[in-house]
Structure 1
Amino acid sequence: MDNVSVIAMLTLSRFSGPTSYRLTVFALTLLCYCVIWLLNVTIIVATIVDKSLHEPMYIFLCNLCINGLYGTAGFYPKFLNDLLSGIHVISHAGCLLQGFVLHSAACADFSILVLMAYDRYVAICRPLVYHSVMTKQRVYVLVFFAWLLPLSLMSMGTITTSRFRLCKSDISKIYCTNFAISQLACSPSIESIIIPAFNITFYFGHFIFVIWSYVYLIRTCLTSKENRSKFMQTCLPHLLCLITFIVCLLFDLLYIRFGSKQIPRSAQHFMAIEFILIPPIINPLIYGFKLTRMKNRIIQFLSRKHL
């Protein structure tokens, strides 16, 4: 029984302050969550309803929005409940599940953004073979593996983390991660080093592929005014979403490893939730306003609602 945790409940870091402060944070958090649902569901419904949007770029965008809802569902409901109840505890199993959802959503986000980079590379650098390369069957296979790989990778990490014997119960974050749980282990293990290293390799490999794609994209776009127009219309939104995601994720990862206790608690909490707050709002906004066909479809849909 050495690998079985004897601690059933874990304590999460809490918002300090009077009840009125917690109610204000609750209202703002609920508003953010509603905005996330509204924006992402709008993009998803527009893509599904309009058959002219059943193209690789929009299919990938739809999955990006679905993943945004999936990832935020692992944090917001629990956090909103904690704000109302004032009790910031979670079961060991629930903590593992939350960590799995947040980790897998982050990995899936990166995988889908990589597919979008590949799609733009083929569309601009190899336009003559685009439709033969990005067939519907191939797009569905790519989407399937973009979900399967993160879910499988995070499943292994979660199963490994669940085997740690815990001697502490306080997590210094407002949500659970595998790294935070491993910090509660009675003794360090080789798994606590291998799993993060494997995850970093996953992100680094994806990052190198994106850099490679954009090097070719920029080189190709410099030779043609038409390609420059395509880049500004379809690649710029993707690049902005990618940069937003990477900055937020790196900020969180660096804070986890090197966070300072001298930083105010509220600032620590904000830094911790950046990657589940900013990208799910920014992604649909950027694509909704920048992609002309998507914007026109949303405007038509809203116009019909007002008739």
Structure 2
Amino acid sequence: MNNNSVTPSYFEFTLFSDYGSLKYVFFSLCLLIYMTIISANVVIILTVCLDKSLHQPMYIFICCLCLNSLYGSAGFFPRFLMDLLSDTHFISRPFCFTQMYVIHTYAGHELTLLTVMAYDRFVAICQPLHYHSKMTFRTVFYLLFFAMLYPICFLCYFFYLATNVPLCGNKLQRMFCSNWSIVKLSCVEVTLINITGQFVALASIFTPMFFVLYTYLQILIVCSKSSSEFRGKALQTCLPHIVTFVNFCISVFCELSLGRYEIDEVNTFVIGLLSLEFLIIPPINNPLVYGLNLPQIRGAIIRCVKFK
């Protein structure tokens, strides 16, 4: 172990630049985005909770997806908005690890929720006669419990590494706290840690992805043997999920790829843009895709507005 290893009481984000008076423009734009995320997701959550016709497994999962979007955004935006206006960008060690936990669990929960939703669509389309017997509220509860617990089991390893490795610096080349950006500050050799971490990350990410691909392969087989009317209804319910899943997988891929490059190898603006894409696009995409494309939710929102 290096004798220069320390336990820093704070970290510094190094990607923020001095934008001058433009920082107020960036702050206003990001605040508007954050308010849009909150408003759009709250509308979907309230609609599902208040409309009894939407108290069905698919809409419960959508509601949980929107709750997770609020959870992840709350872990990033308040601190990010402060940094946009601040001349210094220091974050305390406890708050940094708290932010890291929230952002990483948000990503993990998003992926497992989308996986559970794929299973719901698989049962609804491929086994319609057994849907109500299989997708009971008890089953929904167990699936949601699994969706919350599964990513935490994998992420415990990463959190253990980040909180226990000896560090020789406190400068994070990011706009938020992430596991790998902290581990890279380690005073000890991290090659083995890196390989193990990549294996765990791939296992936790690609297992749900392969399951989703399998379910949609089965759905395509069933649709190919069904009427055009059946295919249209199946597409109507599956398309929002496909768009959301593909969008999030691209976001996660960009985030994982970004963490493996040195700051000199990638333009600072690109790094900041990809970080924002990972934390902004999915929370905006979820309520817009489901709210605009699913007629049941769209109709419930319209009825609520007319009633008001």
Scaled by the length of structure 2, the TM-score of the pair is 0.94
- Aligned runs of 1:208-223 on 2, under 5 Å? 208-223=210-225
Aligned residue for 1:277, secondary structure, equals: helix
The one-letter amino acid of 1:287's match is Y
How far does the alpha carbon of each residue in 1:182-225 deviate from its partner, in whole angstroms, 9 at most, with x for none?
A: 00111124444323321211111111101100101111111212
Which structure 2 residue ranges, 5 or more long, are not aligned? none
Corresponding residue for residue 163 of structure 1: 164
- 1:65 paired with 2:81, answer no
For residues 268 and 8 of structure 1, what CA distance do their matches in structure 2 show?
25
Contact (CA 8 Å) 2:2, 2:188: kept in 1 or not?
no
Q: Is 1:228 aligned with 2:231?
A: yes
Q: For 2:162 and 2:19, how far apart are their aligned partners in 1?
A: 35
Q: Aligned partners of 1:53, 1:5: CA distance in 2, in Å? A: 54
Moved more, 151-160 or 85-94: 151-160
Matched-pair contact (CA < 8 Å) for 2:57–2:140: yes
Counterpart CA distance in 2 for 1:2 and 1:154 is: 27
- Whether the aligned pair in 1 keeps the contact of 2:111 and 2:208 (CA below 8 Å) is yes
* Deviation by residue 1:140-188 (Cα, 9 ceiling, x = unmatched): 1100110122233323321232001110111111011111110011112
SS at match of 1:19: coil
Residue 95 of structure 2 aligns to a residue whose secondary structure is: helix
- Contact kept, 8 Å, 2:24 with 2:85, in 1: the verdict is yes
TM-aligned CA distance change 1:239 to 1:295, over 3 Å: same
Post-superposition offset of 1:24: 0.9
- Three-state SS of the structure 1 residue aligned to 2:21 is helix
Distance 1:172 1:31 in 2: 26
The alpha-carbon distance between structure 1 residues 258 and 18, as it changes in their structure 2 partners (threshold 3 A), is closer
2:301 to 290, 293, 298: 298
| C-alpha deviation, 1:5, in angstroms | 4.7
Give the distance between the partners of 1:101 and 1:289, measured in 2 at CA: 28
Q: Structure 1 stretch 280-289 or stretch 149-158: which is displaced more?
A: 149-158
Amino acid at match of 1:49: L
Letter in 2 for 1:253: L
Paired with 2:161 and 2:126, the residues of 1 have a C-alpha distance of 42
- Which structure 2 residues correspond to residues 247-266 of structure 1 after superposition, within 5 A? 247-258=250-261, 261=264, 263-266=266-269
SS at 1:11 equivalent: strand
Shift of 1:56: 0.7
Residues 18 and 87, structure 2, Cα contact 8 Å, conserved in 1: no
Contact 1:35/1:281, CA 8 A, preserved across alignment: yes
In 2, the alpha carbon distance for the partners of 1:23 and 1:299 equals: 36
Residues 1:275 and 2:278 are matched in the alignment: yes
1:187 match = 188
- Tell me the amino acid that sits aligned with residue 155 of structure 1: C
2:6 and 2:61 mapped to 1: Cα distance? 40
Q: Secondary structure at the match of 1:10?
A: strand
- The aligned amino acid for 2:209 is F
User: Aligned pair in 2 of structure 1 residues 121, 5: CA closer, same or farther (>3 Å)?
Assistant: farther
Aligned residues: percent identity?
A: 38
Tell me the alpha carbon deviations over residues 82-102 of structure 1, each in whole angstroms, 9 at most, x when there is no partner. 112222111222222111111
- 1:194 to 1:264, Cα distance in 2 relative to 1, 3 A: closer
Give the TM-score normalised by the residue count of structure 1.
0.94
Task: Give the distance between the partners of 1:300 and 1:108, measured in 2 at CA.
Answer: 31
SS at match of 2:159: helix
Does the alignment pair 1:92 with 2:123? no
Q: Is the 8 A contact 1:56 1:139 kept in 2?
A: yes
1:19 deviation in Å? 2.6
Q: Is the contact made by 1:124 and 1:227 (CA closer than 8 Å) also made in structure 2?
A: no
> How far does residue 286 in structure 1 lie from its aligned partner after superposition?
0.5
1:22 corresponding residue in structure 2: 23
Is the CA contact 1:9–1:92 (under 8 Å) kept in the aligned structure 2? yes
Q: Which amino acid aligns with 1:249?
A: V
Counterpart residue number, 1:202: 204
Q: Distance in 2 between matches of 1:17 and 1:10?
A: 18
Aligned residues: 305
Q: Which amino acid aligns with 1:198?
A: V
- Supply the RMSD in Å over aligned alpha carbons: 1.9
The residue type paired with residue 172 of structure 1 is Q
